Amino acid sequence: MKNTHENEPMVIIGAGIAAVYAAESARKAGFDGRIIICGDEREAPYDRPPLSKKVLQEAEEAAHISLRDNAFYDAHNIDLRLGNAAQRIDREARQVEFSDGTSLGYGTLVLATGSSLRTLPLLHPGMPHVFYLRRISDAIALREALPNIRSLVVVGAGVIGLEVASVANGMGIDVTVLEAGDRPMARATCAEVCEFVVKQHEQRGVRIRTGVSIREVTERSSGYRLALSDGESLDADAVVVGIGVVPNVALAEAAGLETCASGICVDGQGRTSDAHIYAAGEVAFHFNARVGRAERQENWHHAVAHGEHVGRAIVCSGPDYEEISGYWSDQYDFSLQSFGVPIGEQNVVRGSTDIGAFVVFHLQAGVVVGVSAVGVPREMRAGKALVRSAAKVPVSVLRDASVDLAKWREARPSDAESASESA
């Protein structure tokens, strides 16, 4: 175990999910030095998934999304320093300089700086009636505006955009979703699940238009007129833009750390090219031993797991990171869950997409590498077990809802073992 001297604290830049779990994990692993979490927002660390769901629907919900209460930080001797952005890392002096002119020395530095939203030059943040959704202040501003909006255009048919569309539709707002790609949720799910999701929106009157982009924006007395790439125009009282994120690597890049377009490059322990600096969460282009390559994940599950892994690795190195991550999305009256690879070489449906009770198994070379489900929690649990064991299951078995997959797997452990060995 490595002990850090009291005057050389562990400093964590970023006050999101990965940061909090890294701090907690380091304490559990026996780290006895000071831990300081530094964030540029004034709010205490909070959960982000509710921002596009309950926070938009319920005014009181914003007060209930804190990751931990004050007692937790006191009990774990974690110092929160909020509302002050990190500006520069001096690696030689092992110091971080902040926007208010102060600096902070570190023994170990953890970069959990997360991501920033991609923006559209024609609809940039700060324009009236244009909303981006990343921070709690963004969600509150949109929630307060929604009751006065009659027509809304959502740019981007990813998970966040479709969740916002479902909330707005539920409030009686006329909603059109624009997607430049061939289909909604193209990176997040397979065509079979996408078809179900689109149907749920269209049945409720939401229009989803794919293969179109915005070419010109004209401000009107109320909202905007959007000229589209297909020659048509749309009028809207307000626009929500959700076109993805980019990792916040500027701080690391300026310090000379190894970075790439996918994030801050780290090994299976979370170490950067500087032995005293780690990166955790969605900013990290991390090595995952399970898949044998570096990757970047942008979901809650990974932020928790990688934060925990990095916090523990700082104290006592262990096996490389090998977590399987996933996500969930709440839209209307259904919840979509996905675990592992969300799009396979073959996607096998079990159940009925018509009634919203189905699971899709994602296969690569015959191995179950991912599972997505709506309305069948028991099947989802069984699917997760198949993914974790890298099981090879006949397609006929996966499709047959009369087969209990948990019992089938227990009766054929050799299938899972051989598949795992060959994966």
Which CATH number characterizes residue 224's domain? 3.50.50.60
pLDDT above 70 covers a percentage of the chain that reads: 96
The verdict on 220 and 191 lying in the same domain is yes
The verdict on 130 and 228 lying in the same domain is yes
Long-range residue pairs from 288-293, CB within 8 A, at least 24 positions apart, any chain: 288/320, 288/321, 288/322, 288/323, 289/319, 289/320, 289/321, 289/322, 290/322, 290/323, 290/324
pLDDT digits (tens, 9 = 90+) for 341-369: 999 999 999 999 999 999 999 999 999 99
The verdict on 189 and 231 lying in the same domain is yes
Question: What pLDDT score was predicted for residue 5?
Answer: 39
Q: Is the pLDDT confidence value at 1 over 70?
A: no
pLDDT digits (tens, 9 = 90+) for 281-335: 999 999 999 999 999 999 999 999 999 999 999 999 899 999 999 999 999 999 9
CATH number assigned to the domain comprising residue 338: 3.30.390.30
The verdict on 23 and 90 lying in the same domain is yes
Phi, psi of 47 (to 5 degrees): -80, 130
The verdict on 99 and 14 lying in the same domain is yes
The verdict on 212 and 232 lying in the same domain is yes
The verdict on 177 and 287 lying in the same domain is no
370 vs 189: CA distance, rounded Å: 10
In a domain, 414, yes or no: no
| pLDDT (average), residues 249-271 | 98
| pLDDT (average), residues 72-93 | 97
The verdict on 208 and 104 lying in the same domain is no
Overall number of domains in the chain: 3
In a domain, 143, yes or no: yes
In a domain, 415, yes or no: no
- Contact yes or no for 70/42 (Cβ under 8 A): no
Q: Considering 283, 315, 347, which residue would you say is the last residue of a domain?
A: 315
The rounded mean pLDDT for the chain is: 94
* Pairing relationship of beta strands 238-241 and 151-155 according to DSSP bridges: parallel
The verdict on 393 and 382 lying in the same domain is yes
The verdict on 254 and 110 lying in the same domain is yes
Burial of 109 (0-12, 13-18, 19+ CB in 10 A): buried
Provide the residue range defining the domain that includes 387.
333-399
The verdict on 49 and 63 lying in the same domain is yes
Phi, psi of 420 (to 5 degrees): -65, -40
pLDDT digits (tens, 9 = 90+) for 180-216: 999 999 999 999 999 999 999 999 999 999 999 999 9
The verdict on 89 and 139 lying in the same domain is no
pLDDT digits (tens, 9 = 90+) for 386-411: 999 999 999 999 999 999 998 888 87
- Give, in order, the Cα–Cα distances in Å from 84 to each of 37, 108, 417: 11, 19, 50
**Helix runs in 126-263, H state only:** 136-145, 159-170, 191-203, 250-254
In a domain, 384, yes or no: yes
Joined together, the tokens standing for residue 223 give 């909202």
166 vs 157: CA distance, rounded Å: 11
Per DSSP, 46 falls in state B
pLDDT digits (tens, 9 = 90+) for 17-50: 999 999 999 999 999 999 999 999 999 999 999 9
In a domain, 260, yes or no: yes
